[in-house]
């Protein structure tokens, strides 16, 4: 957006931690309450607020600038602030004046006020600053006494451009920050709702509308904060809320009806419902992927069924309970896999196809569990075991395999120090098959179970 004569407020943030992009955008969005035209400076160290067109709201701009400074102080944001008729002048005063707060409302006073500032306040390159210093020019006032034509020929067009911007002779462009879209939906009732079936219908309808609204903005969210404002016969109001955590965004609510019924039962108990609000949280941008045209419909159906299953599991068990298997390069069974949080099914990594021995059990314990064993001979499988305080008689057994532990992890002095595991497949008197091993220290461990 092109900017001419102001007034403008320039805020220079003194803390380098606030120069991070996330912090700058947060402060710029906060400043939108004072003017819809607010932007981050190109130096990424502050913001500029355009106050033009706000005369009906703020006739006197100096109290407004002081209110902005006061709000920053209340939020413990260390900053220098300047109000001036041009962006260049406000920028210069905010960074190079000797005070934390500067105000210049008359454009004709700029030459006098800016004249005492260092030429760095013009936002010129270090090369130009060095050339001016060699010529004995350090202040903006000294530049104004020299012929413009000579300045342009000797120091280049950048110097003249910055001078004209500071004094409002040419326009300056400011990239503005826009307020993020508000996707929250609120429905108010007068008279209040007393029927829980009506509350359920409103929640489902608003969720569908919310997903459609998010899809139009190419956004998605799996977390939704549902708030109900309740009131009693005495007029006292309170707010109840609960977060609906899905695994992935969906528009198919038929499978979620039972869960929403439980949610309504918890929220809408004990009061009249005056309003229902649904707020999406942790928004993400939708990333579209190219589908295989030969199996397009099969892919869509499979992904829809998978998302529906994961959403149900997430709501019933908790999203943190859903985990994904990741394989690792290790021939020790307990080190060959790990579990991590299950992400978006469309973006998850594919588990590689690995040829495993056929005599391995489908369920492996994350860590082998020790047990006491009675064996007829040292090299034979046990005939009786005691595991987790329960004794089992072994009715069948067969050797499985021998595994040597990873010799490259720990330094070994000789081959005799290399630990070995002797695995056996055994069946207890209940009919269950276990995968057990004996280590070099003659200790026994359960490592897997056949279903």
| Contact yes or no for 68/47 (Cβ under 8 A) | no
Closest to 64 (Cα-Cα) out of 51, 76, 78? 51
**The pLDDT value given to residue 113:** 92
Is 91 a residue whose pLDDT tops 90?
yes
Question: What sign for the dihedral angle of Cα 287, 290, 296, 302?
Answer: negative
**The pLDDT value given to residue 345:** 47
| Contact yes or no for 39/177 (Cβ under 8 A) | yes
Cis bond before residue 24 (omega within 30° of 0): no
Residues contacting 370, CB < 8 A, separation 6+: 443, 444, 445, 446
**The pLDDT value given to residue 293:** 54
Cα(219)–Cα(118) distance, integer angstroms: 47
321, two tokens: 């309970």
Q: Where are the domains of the chain?
A: 2-173, 185-285, 363-450
pLDDT digits (tens, 9 = 90+) for 279-324: 888 777 766 655 555 555 555 566 667 777 777 777 677 777 777 7
| Contact yes or no for 104/83 (Cβ under 8 A) | yes
Alpha carbon of residue 421 to chain centroid: 45
Q: Are strands 185-193 and 272-281 parallel, antiparallel or unpaired?
A: antiparallel
Residue 243 pairs in a beta bridge with 225
pLDDT digits (tens, 9 = 90+) for 13-44: 998 888 888 888 889 989 988 888 899 988 88
Alpha carbon of residue 242 to chain centroid: 20
420, two tokens: 């070995």
Write a three-state SS string for the chain.
CEECCCCEEEEEECCHHHHCHHHHHHHHHHHCCCCCCEEECCCCCEEEEECCCCCCCCCCHHHHHHHHHHHHHHCCCCEEEEEECCHHHHHHHHHHCCCCEEECCCHHHHHHHHCCCEHHHHCCCHHHHHHHHHCCCCEHHHHHCCCHHHHHHHHCHHHHHHHHHHCCCCCEECCECCCCCCCCEEEEEEEEECCHHHHHHHHHHHHHHHHHHHHHCCEECCEEEEEEEEECCCCCEEEEEEEEECCCCCCCCHHHHHHHHHHHHHHCCCCEEEEEEEEEECCEECCCCCCCHHHHHHHHHHHHHHHHHHHHHHHHHCHHHCEEEEECCCCCHHHCEEEEECCCCCCCCCCCCCCCCCCCCCEEEEEEEEEEEECCCCCCCCCEEEECCEEEEEEEEEEEEEEECCCCCCCCCCHHHCCEEEEEEEEECCCCEEEEEECCCCCEEEEEEEC
**The pLDDT value given to residue 166:** 92
pLDDT digits (tens, 9 = 90+) for 147-192: 988 898 899 999 999 999 999 888 888 888 877 778 888 999 888 8
pLDDT digits (tens, 9 = 90+) for 243-260: 877 776 665 556 566 667
Q: 388: alpha, beta or left, given left = phi > 0 and alpha = psi -120 to 50?
A: left
Is 262 a residue whose pLDDT tops 80?
no
Residue 241's pLDDT band, with cuts at 50, 70 and 90, is confident
Least confident of 115-119, 220-224, 291-295: 291-295
Q: Are strands 323-327 and 223-231 parallel, antiparallel or unpaired?
A: unpaired
Choose between 357 and 128: higher pLDDT: 128
Cα(58)–Cα(68) distance, integer angstroms: 13
Is 138 a residue whose pLDDT tops 90?
yes
Cα(107)–Cα(341) distance, integer angstroms: 60
Query: Which of 1.10.3720.10, 1.20.120.530, 3.30.1490.100, 1.10.287.180 is the CATH number of 185-285?
Result: 3.30.1490.100
Residue 428's pLDDT band, with cuts at 50, 70 and 90, is very high
Residue 444's pLDDT band, with cuts at 50, 70 and 90, is very high
| Cβ neighbours, 10 Å, residue 3 | 20
pLDDT digits (tens, 9 = 90+) for 329-382: 777 887 777 777 776 544 444 555 555 555 788 888 888 999 999 988 878 899
Residue 185 main-chain phi, psi, to 5 deg = -120, 130
Length of the chain equals 451
**The pLDDT value given to residue 2:** 40
Query: Which of 3.90.420.10, 3.30.1360.20, 3.30.70.270, 3.20.20.70 is the CATH number of 2-173?
Result: 3.30.70.270
Choose between 438 and 221: higher pLDDT: 438
Same fold, 2-173 and 185-285: no
- Average pLDDT along the chain: 82
Is 424 a residue whose pLDDT tops 80?
yes
Of all residues in the chain, what percent carry a pLDDT higher than 90?
A: 32
């Amino acid at each position: 957006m092109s900017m001419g004569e102001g007034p403008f407020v320039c805020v220079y943030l003194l803390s380098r931690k606030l120069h991070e992009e996330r912090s700058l955008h947060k402060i710029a969005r906060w400043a939108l309450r004072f003017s819809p035209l607010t932007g981050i400076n190109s130096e990424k160290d502050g913001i500029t607020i355009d106050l033009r067109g706000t005369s009906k709201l703020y006739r006197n701009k100096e109290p407004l600038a002081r209110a902005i400074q006061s709000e920053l102080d209340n939020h413990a944001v260390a900053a220098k602030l300047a109000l001036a008729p041009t962006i260049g002048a406000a920028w210069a005063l905010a960074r190079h004046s000797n005070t934390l707060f500067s105000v210049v409302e008359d454009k004709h006073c700029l030459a006098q006020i800016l004249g005492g500032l260092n030429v760095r306040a013009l936002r010129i390159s270090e090369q130009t600053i060095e050339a001016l210093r060699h010529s004995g020019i350090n202040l903006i006032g000294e530049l104004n006494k020299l012929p413009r034509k000579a300045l342009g020929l000797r120091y280049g067009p950048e110097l003249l451009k910055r001078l004209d911007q500071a004094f409002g002779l040419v326009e300056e462009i400011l990239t503005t920050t826009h307020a993020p879209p508000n996707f929250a939906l609120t429905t108010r009732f007068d008279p209040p709702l007393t029927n829980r079936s009506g509350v359920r219908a409103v929640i489902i309808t608003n969720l569908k509308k919310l997903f459609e609204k998010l899809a139009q903005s190419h956004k998605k969210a799996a977390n939704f904060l549902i708030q109900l404002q309740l009131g009693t016969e005495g007029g006292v109001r309170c707010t109840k809320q609960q977060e609906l955590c899905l695994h992935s965004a969906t528009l198919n609510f038929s499978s979620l009806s039972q869960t929403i019924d439980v949610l309504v039962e918890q929220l809408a108990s004990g009061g009249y419902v005056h309003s229902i609000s649904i707020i999406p949280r942790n928004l993400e941008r939708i990333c579209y992927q190219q589908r295989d045209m030969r199996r397009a419909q099969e892919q869509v159906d499979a992904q829809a069924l998978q998302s529906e299953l994961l959403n149900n599991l997430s709501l019933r068990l908790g999203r943190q309970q859903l985990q994904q298997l990741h394989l690792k390069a290790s021939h020790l069974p307990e080190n060959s896999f790990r579990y991590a949080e299950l992400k978006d099914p469309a973006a998850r990594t594919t588990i590689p196809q690995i040829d495993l021995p056929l005599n391995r059990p489908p369920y492996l314990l994350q860590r082998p569990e020790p047990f006491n064993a009675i064996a007829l001979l040292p090299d034979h499988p046990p005939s009786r075991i005691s595991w987790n305080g329960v004794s089992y008689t072994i009715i069948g057994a067969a050797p499985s395999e021998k595994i040597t532990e990873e010799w490259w992890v720990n330094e070994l002095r000789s081959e005799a120090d290399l630990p070995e595991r002797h695995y056996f497949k055994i069946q207890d008197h209940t009919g269950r098959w276990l995968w057990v091993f004996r280590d070099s220290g003659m200790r026994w461990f359960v490592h897997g179970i056949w279903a």
